[in-house]
Structure 1
Amino acid sequence: MRRLQPPGWPQPRGYANGIEASGRLVFVAGQIGWDETGTLVSDALPAQVGQALRNVLAVLAEAGAGPEHVVRLTWFVTSRNEYVASLKAIGVEYRDVMGRHFPVMAVVEVSGLVESDAKVEIEATAVV
């Protein structure tokens, strides 16, 4: 994997502008902050982010992959304002689960998720 950083662009914080990779593709469906019993772990956005990322890694493990193989994350959040206000705590959750691996990423505000109490849904693409 090679990070793509155009000359003169500022370094992104918490994501990459682009990644070049080759290998076997693994796609992970949107994961929310519930545990293996289908119970949301918290009503707090940062805790839901941490659990959603752990769920992403659990699916990736089935393909023999880990956080280092993730090349793209797409986050759907129900509140941009809550996301921005929680960035520091979200960063702690992210690093606890993903380490210092920062793939390309997009965050999109949505009006709601299928699971009404979920505040975030995260989908992933990995290259193994």
Structure 2
Amino acid sequence: MPNPEVSYPRDADTPVSHLPFSPCVVVGNLVFVSGQASVDKTGKIISGDIESEFRLSMQNVEAVLKTAGTDLAHVVQTRNYVRDENDLPKYNELYAEYFTDAKPARTTITQCLPQTLRYEIECIAVLPQ
């Protein structure tokens, strides 16, 4: 039986996954966003370099956050997965473009993704007051 205090926002702009998880879960004023990778609207992985995969992953995060009623400015924590440690300088440069002022708490793990992905991000955000 579903918990009435938990919601699972989703709309036509929410990235699709063929795996068994929700793109996000809202509990109170917290939004938990599942790992977002460089996938298109059908859930197909779009492989590329670190920059193209990072930007598409962030577009997907922004879409999920918008569906939940929040945005990147309200992200309080991120977990980032970078396949190749040689991509870390570019990853840090790109990350700073998206999180410019108050930076969320952050964890970055390398050498943990399959060959089809260079980058994935998950996050926790708060709903605006």
Q: Secondary structure of 1:68's partner?
A: helix
1:48 matches 2:53: yes
Q: Secondary structure of 1:62's partner?
A: helix
For 2:125, the equivalent position in structure 1 comes to 126
2:34 corresponds, among 12, 25, 29, to 29
- Using the size of structure 1 for normalisation, the TM-score is 0.66
Unaligned runs of 5+ in 1: 1-22
Unaligned runs of 5+ in 2: 1-27
For 2:25, the equivalent position in structure 1 comes to none
Q: 1:104 to 1:61 in 2, by over 3 A?
A: same
Deviation of 1:37 after TM superposition, in Å, equals 2.5
- Using the size of structure 2 for normalisation, the TM-score is 0.66
Percent identity between the aligned chains? 29
Deviation of 1:99 after TM superposition, in Å, equals 5.3
Deviation of 1:29 after TM superposition, in Å, equals 0.2
Question: Partner amino acid for 2:118?
Answer: K
How far apart, CA to CA, are the structure 2 residues paired with 1:54 and 1:99? 16
How far apart, CA to CA, are the structure 2 residues paired with 1:122 and 1:56? 8
Question: Partner amino acid for 1:106?
Answer: T
Deviation of 1:81 after TM superposition, in Å, equals 1.3
- Given that 2:39 and 2:57 are in contact with CA atoms closer than 8 Å, whether structure 1 keeps it comes out as yes
How far apart, CA to CA, are the structure 2 residues paired with 1:36 and 1:104? 29
Deviation of 1:117 after TM superposition, in Å, equals 1.1
- Relative contact order (C-alpha < 8 Å, sep 6+): which is higher? 1
- Given that 1:45 and 1:119 are in contact with CA atoms closer than 8 Å, whether structure 2 keeps it comes out as yes
* Residues 99-125 of structure 1: CA deviation (Å, up to 9, x unaligned): 545211111113324xx4111110010
Pairs aligned (count): 100
Deviation of 1:54 after TM superposition, in Å, equals 1.1
Deviation of 1:46 after TM superposition, in Å, equals 1.1
For 1:66, the equivalent position in structure 2 comes to 71
How far apart, CA to CA, are the structure 1 residues paired with 2:55 and 2:85? 17
For 1:103, the equivalent position in structure 2 comes to 104
